[in-house]
Chain A
Amino acid sequence: MYQFFFELTGNVIISTLAVALVPLICVLLVTLFGVWLERKVSAWMQDRVGPNRIGPYGIFQTVADFIKMLQKEDAVSSNIDGVLYNIAPVLVFAGSFAAFAVIPFAATIVGSDIQVGLFYMLAVSSFVVAGILMGGWSSNNKYSLLGSMRSVAQIISYEIPTALVVLSMVMLTGTLSLTQISELQTGYFWHWNIFGGPGWALSKFLLIPFMIVGFIILFISTLAEVNRTPFDIPEAESELVAGYFTEYCGMKYGMFMLAEYGNMFAVSLLISILFFGGYQSPFGYLGNVFGIKWLVSLEQFGWFFAKGWFFIFVQMWLRWTLPRLRVDQLMTLCWKYLIPFAVVNLVIIGIISLL
């Protein structure tokens, strides 16, 4: 993408800015749409209607909320630790936003096509931990501290099953680069990793159950990484009011929300790249049929977004179905159930991939 803008403008600074701005706008639009979708989906599932006054079907509800948040007074208590308090939302947002740099939205649309994309993504998502810890500590509030401690414990525990499953996929595909992983799954949908991967060897069919197990484990652990129900102890309204962001108001709170939805989206995209073919279409490309080159990119972009939104829908579906897990049960789930299954999965996939 940087090449594209450089050819367009010839200026280093402008093209860098453009490359940074595109994912930012993408994340903002995703959050806008995501909040609206969450409210509508939750309403339909509960036999209600959801927002329907502002704009047709309430589409501009999020814009109204956003404007409300912008013009709120930034009420800050005097006992807070100033520097940490202000940096925390920025860090949390940066952590989730930086992951978008390496995600390939189409074969040619990618922020930065580095060879260690997957590794970079997992590393950068850990910034969020530091931000949450800062936010909880600097708020000078018992509730926030409890909430942030729990959240930190949750996130770092659930990074282990995530890493194990990602590792097993890396072993299978042999590369860390996200673009390459997507490229390897070309063809029709039976070449996607969830169905065993490309090619027609016997190993493909042997792999299918373990891929499904891997997918479930990855889905559950990324759900915990983004603090969604059933793992939303840090945000549990009925227990700790609002957890680590109790003391934030106005736009800083907005940053935390942006970060959460951005994270959700990044993680959905990751799952779809690893298991569901990334930007590959399940049925072939109309652009190829008609011979229009740029239509292929557009189609890939569309399919990728559709997959990402599908997984976000599943995350929301789970949120409105399940009760919350308690903190120690969350830990039990991670350490006693997910990690053993992930390790066994890893070993078996390793053995099969040697065949």
Chain B
Amino acid sequence: MSLKTETMVLNMGPQHPSTHGVLRLEVEIEGEVIKKVIPHLGYLHRCFEKHAEAMQYNQVVPYTDRLDYLAAMGNNFGYVLTVEKLLGIQVPERVEYIRVIMAELQRIASHTVAIATNGADIGALTPFLYLFRDREHILTIFEETCGARMLYNYMWVGGLSHDIHPDFVRKTKEFVNYFKSTIVEVDNLLSYNKIFIERTANIGVLPADVAINFGATGPVLRGSGVKFDLRKDDPYSIYNKFDFEVPVGLGLQGTVGDCWDRYYVRMREMEQSLRIIEQAIDNIPEGDVQSAIPKRIKPPKGTSYARVENPRGELGYFLISDGNTNPFRLKVRAPSFVNLEVFGELCKGHLVADVIAILGSIDIVLGEVDR
């Protein structure tokens, strides 16, 4: 008599304490082992690309904030680079320096959230609180500069909305010195903790060629050992003036490309961001941040594509202009959307508890995935 077995379909529904937003995962399991994972998207679709066709170019900027709402400076950056490329504007150097500092501060803030939620999903609830306490310092700096803590509307086409606050340099330097000790503390509490290593090493191993084939970017790609960072390989703005390293996953605690490597890449990237900020903060040239902002933005007919290294990967904007004051078509290449494709591959053969660990290490934001 043969035994008839069936796989069970578990639905980790759109409302779940740990799916980082409204993501529905249909998990087919046999006992505890996963056979297949199908993500269902679209719960946060807000028609961003259609809205952009109805707005003027400068009105699109608040909408770009809301794509990856945890890294809003990076989204602004990508969009204004695209439009400036089409218009042929050269922004003053002061603007470039401030943009880079803001983007790197935002990278630290975003990685803080990624690490904190990764730890919280696995069960370590304390580093979550420590990291959010430190993220408050960054958000206060942003609030003093442009008035908002999360959705900034700060980088405009041709410049910035506000010049930096007089206290900005001092506060940023204080923060940089303070944050170094937090990284050490979180390292001791979480990174080298045996239980955390057991939960994340050798889990969700992404080989380098699979990552490249799927088009993964950001820490997901660098965690698999591929040294590709847009800031070094295709520098935009003034990144070629700064000296920093690109951390890659080395398989220190397991195989190259596992969850621990992606987590490690994020920790080390925060340190490198601190390095960039230190180099930039003392050398901001004088100037006027609003001198190059055009009165009416009416680009010539044509297309342009610009990409930035967002904390989650490569964010690209493709703009088709037909000479009007509104874009004809604006398409966003969202890093989380592409990285989510890899998720189905990674989960095969692991246990249900690992799904959460892997999802946390890929670090998606549903605002970007669904736009």
Q: Which residues does A use to contact B, with CB under 8 Å?
A: 42, 45-48, 142, 146, 229-230, 232-233, 236-239, 241, 320-329
Contact = CB atoms under 8 A, between A and B. Distances in A.
Contacts of B198: 325-326, 329
A247 B145 CA distance: 49
A325 B356 CA distance: 13
A324 B351 contact: no
B353 A46 contact: no
Contacts of B10: 142
13 contacts: A46-B126, A47-B133, A238-B17, A239-B353, A239-B356, A320-B125, A322-B195, A323-B119, A323-B123, A323-B193, A325-B199, A326-B198, A327-B32
Most buried by B among A146, A238, A325: A238
A323 B122 contact: yes
Contacts of B210: none
Interface string B24-39: 0000000010000000
A238 B18 contact: yes
B196 interface: yes
Interface string B333-355: 00000000000000000011110
B168 to A, nearest CB: 26
> Do most interface residues of chain A lie in helix, strand or loop, or is the interface mixed?
loop
B130 interface: yes
Given A239-B353, A326-B353, A229 B123 contact: yes
Given A322-B124, A323-B124, 11 more contacts: A229-B123, A230-B195, A238-B356, A320-B125, A322-B123, A322-B193, A323-B195, A323-B196, A325-B198, A325-B199, A327-B351
Contacts of A323: 119, 122-124, 190, 193, 195-196, 199
Interface string B211-236: 00000000000000000000000000
Nearest to A321: B126
Contacts of B133: 47
A238 B120 contact: yes
Contacts of A237: 17
Contact of B352 (A239, A321, A324, A325): A239
Contacts, number: 70
B351 A326 contact: yes
A27 to B, nearest CB: 27
Interface of B: 8, 10, 16-18, 32, 119-126, 129-130, 133, 189-190, 193, 195-196, 198-199, 351-354, 356
A142 B190 CA distance: 32
A337 to B, nearest CB: 12
Contacts of B119: 323
A146 B31 CA distance: 9
A46 B124 CA distance: 12
A78 to B, nearest CB: 21
Contacts of A48: 129
B121 A238 contact: yes
> Do most interface residues of chain B lie in helix, strand or loop, or is the interface mixed?
helix
B79 to A, nearest CB: 34
Contacts of B122: 323-324
Contacts of A46: 125-126, 129-130
A322 B351 CA distance: 20
A91 to B, nearest CB: 26
Contact of B129 (A47, A238, A321, A324): A47
A326 B121 contact: no
A230 B193 CA distance: 12
Contacts of A239: 18, 352-353, 356
Given A47-B129, A47-B130, A230-B195, A321 B351 contact: no
Most buried by B among A46, A142, A229, A241: A46
A322 B199 CA distance: 12
A226 B207 CA distance: 40
Nearest to A324: B123
A327 B353 CA distance: 8
Nearest to A233: B353
A236 B16 CA distance: 12
A233 B198 CA distance: 15
User: Which 10 A-B residue pairs are closest in the complex by CB-CB distance?
Assistant: A324-B123, A238-B18, A46-B129, A323-B124, A323-B123, A323-B122, A326-B353, A238-B121, A238-B17, A323-B195
A236 B121 CA distance: 9
Contacts of A42: 125
Contacts of B196: 323
Contacts of B120: 238
A238 to B, nearest CB: 4
Contacts of B193: 322-323
B264 to A, nearest CB: 16
Contacts of B129: 46-48
Contacts of A329: 198-199
Contacts of A238: 17-18, 120-121, 123, 356
Most buried by B among A146, A323, A325: A323
A236 B126 CA distance: 15
Nearest to A149: B32
A324 B124 CA distance: 7
A328 B202 CA distance: 14
